[in-house]
Chain A
């Protein structure tokens, strides 16, 4: 099995096999969602020599989870008998929360993190903008307030629910 994984399959089958193995790798910071859910896993490319390239993209430039994600992909592929692979980190096109899957958003909410709204204009330097309306992941109330645009990880903002009084993280749209 170890030797044949890359060789005895068509490029299409190999591509699917690789994707299926790596897609379930959890995000190290928010382990309830996978790198597929997050849109970090972009593409699997098989060249004519049946060599594998896994393309990933960071959420934020300084995301400290990227090294670990790359390492986890490597481990997962090796354990499943894949050879001749490399992992490439690409920046363009820049990651956006619009790539997050619906499943991913539901998992986030169930975990207590408000999922991202549809992308708004983030590249805007206008000060004191109106806060995004974000429903509380616990009681669904829209009576919530932004506490800080920066949270415990680069991808989250801090909110407070005025209805149930719980603080919560919002996976900010980006």
Chain B
């Protein structure tokens, strides 16, 4: 069935970078826990999730690099772009703080990615559809793992509930950005309203079960999708890109 919709190459590249950057930065944040998580099994779980996200990011970067041409590679996109060229959600770059922040951030983003990939699986671009179909199976594990932690901590001890509530109060101002479509996102013809509705239902169900109080607010920090980031991204990139910046083209 021939489709009449055409997405400009520039919009598509920007969109691929937006998803890839979000996956990469969240992956990097998770990897910071490696060797530091509360117990070995959870350390392994979080690094596995980081690895899945890194793989998803690589698939999107490889496809973006192919469209960009000009000798762009997945590595040049990850290691040689500047802060304002990154399009990740602000939510992804927020610091790990404690376990509560980490699992809630993961739950918010994984739930979004799950419903997004549900749609992208049917995308008219076969490569986008293939990456989404591959990724969604992994993301389902992430939603379950992180959602269970949110409930376990929220409905846990007084201390764990307080910590979870603290994380929720802080991160809530970063969730709205997910659903405010950038120009290149609108061009992709994604049914954002459906994704938002499913996301809100899933999140409300989990937060209720976790005995956490939440309110929907209209305020949200924005800017990540167009390269205006919080101060945190610069520090992440400084560390992540250090080797390529210091020893250009280093390989091993």
Contact = CB atoms under 8 A, between A and B. Distances in A.
Interface of A: 58, 60-64, 90-95, 122-129, 147-152, 154, 158, 174
A130 to B, nearest CB: 12
Chain B contact residues (Cβ within 8 angstroms of A): what range? 35 or more
Contacts of A124: 140
Contacts of A127: 144, 147-148, 151, 206
B223 interface: no
Nearest to A66: B55
A173 B57 CA distance: 23
Contacts, number: 91
B59 interface: yes
B105 interface: no
B153 interface: no
A148 B149 CA distance: 12
A113 to B, nearest CB: 16
B130 interface: yes
Contacts of B134: 58, 61, 91-92, 94-95
Given A92-B129, A92-B133, A150-B48, A62 B145 contact: no
Interface string B41-57: 11011001101111110
Contacts of A58: 55, 134
A125 B144 contact: yes
Contacts of A152: 44
A125 B206 CA distance: 11
Contacts of A158: 41, 44
Contact of B44 (A63, A91, A150): A150
Interface of B: 41-42, 44-45, 48-49, 51-56, 58-59, 111, 114, 126-127, 129-131, 133-138, 140-141, 143-145, 147-148, 151, 202, 206
Contacts of A154: 48, 51-52, 138
A94 B137 contact: yes
A123 B137 contact: yes
B133 A125 contact: no
Contact of B41 (A126, A129, A148): A148
Nearest to B56: A61
Contacts of A63: 55
B45 A62 contact: no
Given A91-B59, A127-B206, A149 B141 contact: yes
Contacts of A91: 59, 127, 130-131, 133-134
Contacts of B54: 62
Nearest to B205: A127
Contacts of A129: 144
Nearest to A174: B137
Given A94-B134, A148-B41, A62 B143 contact: no
A149 B140 CA distance: 12
5 contacts: A58-B55, A62-B54, A127-B144, A129-B144, A148-B41
A149 B144 CA distance: 10
Nearest to B110: A125
B52 A148 contact: no
B45 A150 contact: yes
